[in-house]
Each structure stands twice: as structure tokens, then as C-alpha cells.
């Protein structure tokens, strides 16, 4: 056997997984002294770097002494939970990271539950011990309570604890110890994580856990070899999840070292490798020996909970900013996304309309943001939750919601969530004037809540949620309480008319912005929609009057990002997404059409 260890790094969003992997790569000597690398080297995608979150799980391999350690960095956001679940099946042990102040969060509970159920060996890393408000001892107790509550085995409860400040490359086994480096993490991995099971003499079995795509070689399957040996040029059998067997040939075998991928000739049981040559490969498929195919259990992938409709942009400004505007281009791009993103589903629902289902708003907005950067132009409808019928009862997804906020805002938020059918489960003080409140809430009640929440907590509140389960439908939920300011004309906005309109609500646009009839330019201060004229100029006359030319002072417009706009819109509204603009509009642009359809 090669000396191999396979581990995954799991944690709640922003607890420092990618920074820890950076440190492991750095201190293992994987980067040569001449190699330059960026901070958070594993976040290779532009959006990941901008937002500071991991969206796709990625694997790397480091050498320590004469061992090869395969490390998989996973996303911490609940919308990408499906990635974490698949990755856990491929590894033999797990580094569970927890913030030394925030402690156990919803995603920590989600990933720990999956890890314990699969019987993996955990190493708990208490990260960010250098924070002034850090309380590592409390967090260790929280982790022990969590493991006990989730029926961990005796072996799992006896977890090693490492205290770390990953950003500074510090780690130690006891808070009383002087600061040390990551050597204690490497040694703990070697001593605590079991060797991979499997034998190179057995018949080949390798399972694909994530996909990649290359324009030259096509689909690439990244997989863990459970038994046997895979060589470049081998004829293999691909066992699909539905039982179908497909013959194929490994045209390229790729190994990992640090941030580099290199072609290799063979790999054996216990290793994690990528291969090309099998075009029909999917997540969960098994690559096996054609003489004796023995498929592994296919993977369960969590169901999507949210859908939106992507449609061809049909606004008066369509085609002016984007390059790809036709339904064929849109369909091809969405189908390409589905080949590598198994947590999403696509369905054609009409002429130029495509229903995309995913795990949450973030997952869908990441797709939309990537598409607009690729010069696509399209419309997006309001997100809707997927309602299922279970044993004859109409059921909807519920979320576990955790809110950290200053104590003075607690009453307001509890009242707001009460109207949205939320049920409070616990409230605990967090010190320094903060408290943590936990709720169980229907997923659709969270659509549009984040913006309101940030306003109510003056930007100091933090909310996190993760999927809980499907429960019986809970009836109607309060949605947006304000109407829209709708343009009645096509043209360019003028400061003079916006100055008069801004008393009626909050504007989303400034002067010299192109608008059209039916486009939403702001939020009305009352609950009804109001049609306004944002392009009306000042009537000039040759008669002077006192106080005629008062200075026009415009309040800066509210910046509507893709997420904010998607949360804000209602069922009769659409988001028009182009490479340069995000516009909000009514589905039916003219007032007569809107009246006619509202009667139906």
C-alpha cells in the first residue's frame, strides 16, 4: 500500500477552512520557495475570490514525510450541502473546524450529522483563537454536547482537539502550550486517521464524487479508488446509478499535488485521482473491471428545495448589452451547467422558458452571476419553494435558522419572524451585548427576509440557515409590505422628475438611466403600486419667478445587487439580467395588460 491518508475539511461558512488548507500546503513544503501563490489558493473561481466563500469542493494532495495526504476543501454554505455529503463518502477522516467565538452553527450541525452517520473519525480544530472575544473552552463543550446529541460512537466522542489561528500558521494541542506550527496537525492526521481500506490486488472499483470539464478532453470524473489499480489506456466498465453498464477507456489519468494537476500512468486503491475518456460519467457512477463489474452503492443527492424560471429577455432594451440572447444559447448554457452541477435540475417549461431547481438562492444567483459575466442576457422569475406530496399531505421545506444580533433588536426580529410562521426554539446570550436566537421556519418565509433583517439590525445582525426537512404546508406567509414605483414612459431619467418622485419612496436608479414602460424604478412607501413618470423635464418659460431654480438634491439610490433584487421581487415581477445592468420590471409592461391579467 502507498502511505496515504484521505481527509475532508468541513465547517460552517467563514470559519476558516480554505485558510487552513493554505497553511497546510505552505507548511508541508508543497510550494517551492520560488513559487508565488495567492491567499486562499484553493478558491480558484473569480466569484469565490470576490465573495470570500467556497462554492465548489476542491481537492489537493500534499506530501508530509513519506506520506501522501489527500485533502478536500468543502463549501461551508448550506446551499452547497450536497457537495459536502458526497465528499464525506470519499475520505476516511475529517477535520471539523469551529470558530472559537461563534461556536456550533447550523452548517456545523449539518456536516457533523452527516459525518457521524457515515462513521468517519473526526479531529476538531478550534480556529481563530486569536480573536479578542474567543472562548475556546466553551466551544469545546459545545462540540462535545453536539456529538453526544447526535449519537456519536465512543471512538468518535474521543476526538483529538487542536487549537489554531490558521491565518497566522499557528496550531497547538493545548491552550497553555506556547504557539507552534502546523506540525501537530500533520502528526494528528497520521496517528488518528485510519489508512484507506481496499487492496490493489482486488478487482477495480472507483467512485466518482465530483465532475470537471475540459474543452479538449471533455468530461473529467474526480474519483476515489476503493479497490484495484487504474492505468492510463485501461478498458473499463462504467456502472451508472440506474444499473446501466457502459464500456469505455481511460484516455487520461490525472494526479494531484498542491495546486497542480499532472498526468500519471497508474494509481492504486486508496488514492484520489481524475480521469477523462468516459463522456457519460456522472456523480455516483462506479468505474469497474469489465471482466467482473462490481458497482458500489450509488450516492444519494439531496433534493432541490427552490425553483426559478430563466427566460429569454423580451424587454424593450433586450439585446443592447448582451451577446447571447436567444433561447437556444440559454438552453445550451443551462444544460452545460447541469453536466457538472448535480445538485441542480433543469426542465423546459415553455417557449424560451427554463425551470432551474437548486438548493437555495445563493446557488441560483451564483449561476446567474456567472452567466452575465459570460455575456448572457436573460430574465429571472421570483424564487418559489418546491412543494411535495408525502403520503397524501402537501409538504414544504423547513429551515433551521440561527440569528446572532445585538440584544436591543431581539424583540423586533422575533415579531417579524412570528408573522412569517417561525417557531422560536432557543435564545442564549453570547456576551458583549449579543444574543443567539434559533428558529424553525418555512423556507419560503425566508425569501425576501435578509434585506429587511439587515435594515432592522442596522447591519449588525448575522443570519444563517440550513435545510431541516419537509413538513406539512403552513399556510400563507407575509411577503413584501411595500409596493413598487413603476415607470410609465420609455426614455432616460431626469434629475428634475426623480427629485419629485423620491418623496414617494426609495429609488433604485439615478439620473441619465435608460428606463421603459413597466420597469420598476423604486419601492413605494405604501403597500400599493404607483405609476410615475421619471423622464418628465421642467417646463421652461421666459418669465422669472422668485425661488424658481432651487438646487435639486437627490438621495443616493438603493444599490440593488442580484441577490437583493431576487429577494425583493414579487410573483408578478421579473429580474432582467444583462452583463452591465440588473433591472426590475413587471411581467406585463403596460398598465392595461396588468389590469387585464389581475382580473383572471
Verify that 102 and 188 share a domain, yes or no.
Answer: yes
Find the mean pLDDT for residues 366-394. Answer: 87
Please state the residue numbers annotated as binding site. Answer: 14-19, 127-130
Strand ranges in 232-271 using DSSP code E only, listed in sequence order: 235-239, 245-249, 252-257, 260-263, 266-268
- Amino acid 531: pLDDT: 92
Together in a domain, 405 and 513: no
Residue 488 belongs to domain spanning: 484-538+550-598
Closest to 282 (Cα-Cα) out of 340, 242, 227, 324: 340
Kindly state whether residue 453 falls inside one of the protein's structural domains: yes
- Is residue 43 located within the same domain as residue 63? yes
Q: Can you say which residues are annotated as belonging to the binding site for GTP?
A: 14-19, 127-130
507-511, 542-546, 595-599 — most confident range: 507-511
Q: Interhelix angle for 81-88 vs 106-117, to 10°?
A: 30
Last residue of a domain, one of 192, 218, 251: 192
Query: 403 with 284, same domain?
Result: no
pLDDT of residue 285: 81
Is the predicted pLDDT of residue 386 greater than 80, yes or no? yes
Last residue of a domain, one of 149, 167, 192: 192
8 A C-beta contact, residue 76 and residue 11: yes
Residue percentage of the chain with pLDDT more than 90: 6
Q: Average pLDDT of the chain?
A: 81
Mean pLDDT of 315-343: 84
Q: Is residue 382 part of a domain?
A: no
Residues 439 and 503 in one domain: no
Same domain for 422 and 280, yes or no, is: no
Query: What average pLDDT score do residues 590-599 get?
Result: 84
Is 329 part of a structural domain of the chain?
A: no
- For residues 165 and 213, membership in a common domain is answered with no
What is the tens place of the pLDDT at every residue in 410-467? 888 898 888 888 899 888 887 778 888 889 988 888 887 887 888 888 888 888 777 7
The answer as to whether 375 is a domain residue is: no
Which of residues 111 and 159 earns the better pLDDT score? Answer: 159
Question: Do 492 and 464 share a structural domain?
Answer: no
User: What pairing do the DSSP bridges indicate for beta strands 229-231 and 272-276?
Assistant: unpaired
- CA 467 remoteness from chain centre: 13
CA distances from 300 to 74, 86, 87, 126, 366 (A): 18, 8, 12, 30, 23
Is residue 159 included in any domain, yes or no?
yes
- The tens digit of pLDDT for each residue in 463-519 reads 877 777 888 888 777 777 788 999 998 999 988 889 889 889 999 988 889 999 999
Same domain? For 167 and 263 the reply is: no
**Residues in contact with 154: Cβ distance below 8 Å, sequence separation at least 6, in sequence order:** none
Residue 369 inside a domain? The answer is no
How confident is residue 521, by pLDDT bands cut at 50, 70 and 90?
Answer: very high
| Pair (79, 168) in one structural domain | yes
Looking at 270, 288, 306, the residue that finishes a domain is: 288
Query: Which has more confidence, 280 or 472?
Result: 472
pLDDT attached to residue 41:
45
- What is residue 81's predicted lDDT score, i.e. its pLDDT? 58
Same domain, 21 and 58: yes
- pTM of the predicted model as reported, rounded to 2 decimal places: 0.72
Residue 97 lies in a domain: yes
Structural domains in the chain (count): 4
The CATH number for 224's domain is: 2.40.30.10
pLDDT at 57: 52
CATH number where 24 lies: 3.40.50.300
CATH of the domain at 398: 3.30.70.240
Q: Is residue 310 part of a domain?
A: no
Q: Do 127 and 59 share a structural domain?
A: yes
- Spell out the residues 6+ positions from residue 283 whose beta carbon is closer than 8 angstroms to its own: 86, 208, 209, 210, 211, 299, 301, 342
pLDDT: is 139 or 18 the higher one?
A: 139
Amino acid at each position: 500500500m502507498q502511505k496515504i491518508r484521505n481527509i475532508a475539511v468541513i465547517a460552517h461558512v467563514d470559519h476558516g477552512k480554505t485558510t487552513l488548507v493554505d497553511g497546510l500546503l505552505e507548511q508541508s513544503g508543497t510550494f517551492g520557495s520560488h513559487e508565488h501563490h495567492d491567499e486562499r489558493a484553493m478558491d480558484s473561481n473569480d466569484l469565490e475570490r470576490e465573495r470570500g466563500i467556497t462554492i465548489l469542493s476542491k481537492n489537493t494532495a500534499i506530501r508530509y514525510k513519506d506520506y501522501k495526504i489527500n485533502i478536500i476543501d468543502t463549501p461551508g454554505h448550506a446551499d452547497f450541502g450536497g457537495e459536502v455529503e458526497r465528499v464525506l463518502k470519499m475520505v476516511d477522516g475529517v477535520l471539523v473546524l469551529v470558530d472559537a467565538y461563534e461556536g456550533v452553527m447550523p452548517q456545523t450541525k449539518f456536516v457533523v450529522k452527516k459525518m457521524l452517520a457515515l462513521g468517519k473519525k473526526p479531529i476538531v480544530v478550534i480556529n481563530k483563537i486569536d480573536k479578542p472575544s474567543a472562548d475556546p473552552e466553551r466551544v469545546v463543550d459545545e462540540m462535545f454536547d453536539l456529538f453526544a446529541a447526535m449519537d456519536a460512537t465512543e471512538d468518535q466522542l474521543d476526538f483529538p482537539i487542536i487549537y489554531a489561528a490558521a491565518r497566522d500558521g499557528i496550531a497547538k494541542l493545548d491552550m497553555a502550550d506556547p504557539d507552534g506550527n502546523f506540525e501537530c496537525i500533520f502528526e494528528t492526521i497520521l496517528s488518528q486517521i485510519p489508512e484507506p481500506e481496499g487492496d490493489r490486488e482486488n478487482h477495480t472499483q472507483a467512485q466518482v464524487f465530483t465532475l470537471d470539464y475540459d474543452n479538449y478532453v471533455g468530461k473529467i470524473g474526480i474519483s476515489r479508488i476503493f479497490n484495484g489499480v487504474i492505468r492510463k489506456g485501461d478498458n473499463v466498465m462504467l456502472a451508472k446509478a440506474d444499473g446501466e453498464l457502459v464500456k469505455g477507456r481511460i484516455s487520461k489519468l490525472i494526479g494531484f499535488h498542491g495546486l497542480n494537476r499532472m498526468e500519471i500512468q497508474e494509481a492504486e486503491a486508496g488514492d484520489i485521482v481524475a480521469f477523462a475518456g468516459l463522456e457519460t460519467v456522472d456523480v455516483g457512477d462506479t468505474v469497474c473491471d469489465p471482466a467482473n463489474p462490481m458497482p458500489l452503492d450509488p450516492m444519494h443527492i439531496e433534493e432541490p428545495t427552490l425553483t426559478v424560471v430563466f427566460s429569454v429577455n423580451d424587454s424593450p432594451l433586450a439585446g443592447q448589452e448582451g451577446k447571447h440572447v436567444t433561447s437556444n444559447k440559454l438552453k445550451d448554457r443551462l444544460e452545460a451547467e447541469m453536466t457538472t452541477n448535480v445538485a441542480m435540475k433543469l426542465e423546459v417549461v415553455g417557449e424560451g422558458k427554463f425551470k432551474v431547481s437548486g438548493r437555495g438562492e445563493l446557488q441560483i444567483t451564483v449561476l446567474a452571476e456567472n452567466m452575465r459575466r459570460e455575456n448572457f442576457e436573460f430574465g429571472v422569475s421570483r424564487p418559489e419553494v418546491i412543494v411535495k406530496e408525502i403520503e397524501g399531505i402537501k409538504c414544504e421545506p423547513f429551515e433551521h435558522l440561527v440569528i446572532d444580533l445585538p440584544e436591543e433588536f431581539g424583540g423586533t426580529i422575533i415579531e417579524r419572524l412570528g408573522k412569517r410562521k417561525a417557531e422560536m426554539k432557543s435564545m442564549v446570550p453570547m456576551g458583549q451585548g449579543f444574543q443567539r436566537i434559533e428558529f424553525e421556519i418555512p423556507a419560503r418565509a425566508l425569501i425576501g427576509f435578509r434585506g429587511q433583517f439587515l435594515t432592522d439590525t442596522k447591519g449588525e445582525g448575522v443570519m444563517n440557515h440550513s435545510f431541516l426537512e419537509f413538513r406539512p404546508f403552513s399556510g400563507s406567509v407575509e411577503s413584501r409590505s411595500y409596493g413598487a414605483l413603476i415607470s410609465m414612459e420609455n426614455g432616460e431619467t431626469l434629475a428634475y422628475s426623480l427629485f419629485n418622485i423620491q418623496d414617494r419612496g426609495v429609488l433604485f436608479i439615478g439620473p441619465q438611466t435608460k428606463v421603459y414602460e413597466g420597469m420598476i424604478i423604486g419601492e413605494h412607501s405604501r403597500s400599493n403600486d404607483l405609476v410615475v413618470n421619471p423622464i418628465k423635464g421642467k417646463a421652461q418659460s421666459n418669465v422669472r419667478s422668485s425661488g424658481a431654480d432651487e438646487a435639486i438634491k437627490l438621495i443616493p439610490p438603493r444599490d440593488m445587487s442580484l441577490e437583493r433584487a431576487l429577494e425583493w421581487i414579487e410573483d408578478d415581477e421579473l429580474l432582467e439580467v444583462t452583463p452591465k445592468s440588473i433591472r426590475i420590471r413587471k411581467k406585463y409592461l403596460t398598465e392595461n395588460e396588468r389590469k387585464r391579467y389581475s382580473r383572471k
